[in-house]
Amino acid sequence: MKRTVGWFACVGCALALQVHAAWTAEANRMAELRFESAKTYADPFNEVTLDAVFTAPDGKTLRVPGFWDGGKTWCVRYASSVVGAHRFSTVCSDPANAALHGVVGEVNVTPYVGDNPLFRHGPVRVADDHRHFAYADGTPFFWLGDTWWMGLSERLHWPQDVQALAADRCAKGFTVVQIVAGLYPDMPAFDERGKGDGGFSWEAGYARIRPEYFDAADKRIQFLVEQGLMPCVVGAWGYHLPWLGADKLKQHWRYVIARWGAWPVVWCAAGEQAMPWYLAENKAADSERQRREWTEIIRTIRATDAFHRPVTTHPRCKARDDVADASVLDFEMHQSGHGTPPEGHAALALEGWRGQPVMPVLSGEARYEALEIHPTLGAKEARQAFWAHLLNCGCAGHTYGANGIWQVNQPDRRYGKSPGGNDWGGTPWSDALRLPGSAQLALAKKFLLTQPWYRLEPVGGTFVKGDTAAAATPDKRCALVFTLGQAVTVDWTGWPASARAAWFDPTTGELRALDGDLPATGTREFAPPGKNGAGDDDWVLLISGAAK
């Protein structure tokens, strides 16, 4: 429920009188507080900031940033899992504006009634083991992401295209959508391809942000959340930093946090954070500047966000390498390589697992299905990248990408060339959503959820030989071994007598149990059962036994 603070003007008096107001919202759902300024400002975005300091029933205080919503309107958005009355008082940079400064009221949080896991279990956080993700209540969360870089642009029509794409991804079990907040990749600033339903996100020359863009984008972000899809919000592509400067990007991020931080989201500071503009004159200097200054922007993100949503960045290769201080990250993304074979994805994942500080690791950009490089990538490449990286990084999750969706090709409106001259292909998004790779990753997730996936750790080269990637639980209750057709040799020492083995076909979801008892000691070789359902060589060996 949304309510606006009411004001009564005093006749013959310059001041206004407060009317205390109360808002109501279910646990973990957003309440929006709207305020109308008593003063007119020439440049409200740059002249005025508004925060609200909340005190929860448990005594915890949060300073939540507000945002200018055009004209004389400011808003604060708030959410909490704690049931009860949450009192607030506003703090405005212009303390003489009594309509914005010192306003008091409360948000009454009631129990959530519904089945959306983002509200029922609470926003996603880093799990206690620092290797995986979990909902706020500790329920394990498997990150199966989809790539909608330009999903807030008008190229993806609202509401029909957004609804159709989200419905397909929900049906397949996707849990995350990676989406950029207006400052896009693969185009120059203010390219017509980057317009949203409300125009561009900034005025030309970056004088101020445009609330009209974000008003339209709100509808899409809220819709994703309501479907149970967690937005991974990418603030900007990294190369926009030299154009805006760090201070403007800090303003941009404050605005994004104020708009969307009360929803269950995660933050990705920048895309290809340290990659310079494709046509930059001094790429080495720009890259180092981006690495250094984006790190400081991440510190600002962390200091601004009262809800402490998890923070990462999308790198050229490894997020730890694209920041000056890896401790600013809550989890590490990889860009594991469109042209990289599965063995390379597996090796990179293992580097992430071994890296310090310990944090969840996942590939946020792997091999886009239908990407028209040489040769064009298919479901096989997307699927094999998934298994190779996932098992060697600790099984926190993985992001799929389909060419045609990330840049939103329409049947009659191909995206076209990037500034570097590449044209990645013309597959329409409505065809790309039906490519087989997304369905195969859906089968992978369905299979993983039948196993203790959140306890798996990389084990390749230890008691398993011949694998491309392998993971097992420490108690040997479960092991998964990914192979590209090679026979797998397993040292059986320490496995319970009740252990069994089966081959999982990653293209059909079929599980083929192996007959016969397994040895209590020694080794056994497992040969894959020929071609999988797609005629390829890759299989996943499942070894399962009773917990010790």
pLDDT digits (tens, 9 = 90+) for 494-525: 787 778 899 999 999 999 999 866 766 788 89
Would you state the pLDDT for residue 275? Answer: 97
pLDDT bin (cut points 50, 70, 90) of residue 338 is: very high
Single pTM value for the model: 0.95
Q: Calculate helix-pair angle for 436-448, 379-393, nearest 10 degrees.
A: 30
Strands 469-472 and 457-458: antiparallel
Lowest mean pLDDT among 13-27, 159-173, 264-278: 13-27
**5 compared with 195, residue with greater pLDDT:** 195
How confident is the model over 78-95, as a mean pLDDT?
Answer: 98
- Flag whether pLDDT at 116 surpasses 90: yes
CA–CA dist 459, 350 (Å, integer): 10
Strands 31-36 and 50-55: unpaired
Strand (E) positions, 155-226? 176-180
CA–CA dist 351, 374 (Å, integer): 27
**476 compared with 407, residue with greater pLDDT:** 407
- Flag whether pLDDT at 44 surpasses 80: yes
**294 compared with 10, residue with greater pLDDT:** 294
Would you state the pLDDT for residue 520? Answer: 66
- Flag whether pLDDT at 273 surpasses 80: yes
* DSSP string for residues in 460-528: BTTTEES-SEEEE-TTSSEEEEEESS--EEEE-TT--TT-EEEEE-TTT--EEEPPSPPPSSSEEEE--
How confident is the model over 220-244, as a mean pLDDT?
Answer: 98
Lowest mean pLDDT among 41-55, 250-264, 455-469: 455-469
CA–CA dist 201, 252 (Å, integer): 9
Q: How do residues 137-161 score in pLDDT, each as one tens digit?
A: 999 999 999 999 999 999 999 999 9
Would you state the pLDDT for residue 467? Answer: 86
How confident is the model over 60-86, as a mean pLDDT?
Answer: 98
CA–CA dist 273, 528 (Å, integer): 41
- Flag whether pLDDT at 3 surpasses 50: no
Would you state the pLDDT for residue 14? Answer: 32
- What is the SS3 assignment for 415? coil
CA–CA dist 378, 43 (Å, integer): 50
- What is the SS3 assignment for 99? coil
- Flag whether pLDDT at 310 surpasses 70: yes
How confident is the model over 215-242, as a mean pLDDT?
Answer: 98
Would you state the pLDDT for residue 237? Answer: 98
How many alpha carbons lie under 13 Å from residue 462 in its C-beta half-sphere? 16
- Enter the tokens of residue 178: 């990676």
Radius of gyration of the chain, Cα coordinates, nearest whole angstrom:
25
- Flag whether pLDDT at 103 surpasses 60: yes
Q: Is 84 left (phi over 0), alpha (psi -120 to 50) or beta?
A: left
How many Å is the maximal CA-CA distance in the chain? 94
How many alpha carbons lie under 13 Å from residue 540 in its C-beta half-sphere? 30
pLDDT bin (cut points 50, 70, 90) of residue 548 is: very low
Lowest mean pLDDT among 211-215, 227-231, 300-304, 543-547: 543-547
For the chain, helix (H) and strand (E) counts, in that order, are 11, 30
Q: What does the mean pLDDT of the chain come to?
A: 94
